[in-house]
Structure 1
Amino acid sequence: MTPPANPHARTRVSGPYTLVEVAGEIDLATAGLVADHLDAATAVPAPDVLVDLREVEFLDCSGLRVLCRAQERAVRAGGRLRVVCDQPYLHRLLGATGLLGRFPPLTSVPGGVRNRTE
């Protein structure tokens, strides 16, 4: 069951994948709101999850931990989790934490799906 949308995350199905759109500041106080959506998205067999980070203004280790846990759950279920990110600072953060290889970012959502502000 998909959790209700909140100011930091919402989920929708787009073609063959589940799109989790994340926005705002993702830190210790808000990471749980994102985790609820990622947990639901990865709770199915062979999930194909896209996490759209293009509207994220700040991401700390709490947000990275949520992404790593969700990616591990997706792989264990026979699926995958990918991130969509076009901000240089997030690319630098993923590189500095050694996660760039684990989450090679896509620059846009496949299929032309627009994010929440477009």
Structure 2
Amino acid sequence: MEQQPAPLSRHLRVHQDRGHTVLELRGEIDIAAATEIMPGLDRATGRPGARVVLDLRRVEFFDCSGLRLIYRARQRVLDHGGQLHLVCDHPLTLRVFRITGLSQLLPPRPTLEAALGQSETASGRP
């Protein structure tokens, strides 16, 4: 059952959907936003067996600070035996993911439904 999002900051909203913690990143994700997002991200990714979805569909700008957030989330989830899925449909952000190799480690899905239906083998596990 889906819960209504709880605003943690203007750049991050968190809700539960089908046993996953969905973190919706919003707006411009730069160094200032990353500092705001980090505590909520760490709470969601630091639990044993966490099932997390990072939803970037409402992101308007994404720099290297955003990439660091995603890599950090991936590592923390894997360290705790969890799953991480990524939702992104913005062409420029997807291009950055391809160029940096992130799309190979964590294949982005275009919708939340696709990410929630994704198999465990494609959840960012090496």
Same fold by TM-score greater than 0.5 = yes
User: How many residues matched?
Assistant: 110
Q: Of residues 84, 109, 114 in structure 2, which corresponds to 1:106? A: 109
Tell me the secondary structure at the aligned position of residue 23 of structure 1: strand
Tell me which residue corresponds to 2:34: 31
CA positional deviation for 1:4? 5.2
Inter-partner Cα distance in structure 2 for 1:4 and 1:110? 21
CA positional deviation for 1:110? 2.1
Tell me which residue corresponds to 2:72: 69
1:22 aligns with 2:25: yes
Counterpart of 1:68 in structure 2: which amino acid?
A: Y
Query: Identical aligned pairs, as a percentage?
Result: 41
1:6 aligns with 2:16: no
Inter-partner Cα distance in structure 2 for 1:31 and 1:17? 22
Deviation track 1:27-86 (CA, whole Å, cap 9, x = no partner) reads 111112222221011121101100100000111111100110111000010012111001
Inter-partner Cα distance in structure 1 for 2:50 and 2:15? 13
Inter-partner Cα distance in structure 1 for 2:66 and 2:22? 17
Tell me the secondary structure at the aligned position of residue 30 of structure 1: helix
Counterpart of 2:90 in structure 1: which amino acid?
A: Q
Task: For structure 2, list consecutive stretches of 5 or more residues without a partner in the other structure.
Answer: 1-5, 117-126
Task: For structure 1, list consecutive stretches of 5 or more residues without a partner in the other structure.
Answer: 114-118
1:82 aligns with 2:85: yes
Q: What do you get for the CA RMSD once the two structures are aligned? A: 1.7
Spell out structure 1 runs of 4+ moving beyond 2 A: none
Tell me the secondary structure at the aligned position of residue 8 of structure 2: coil
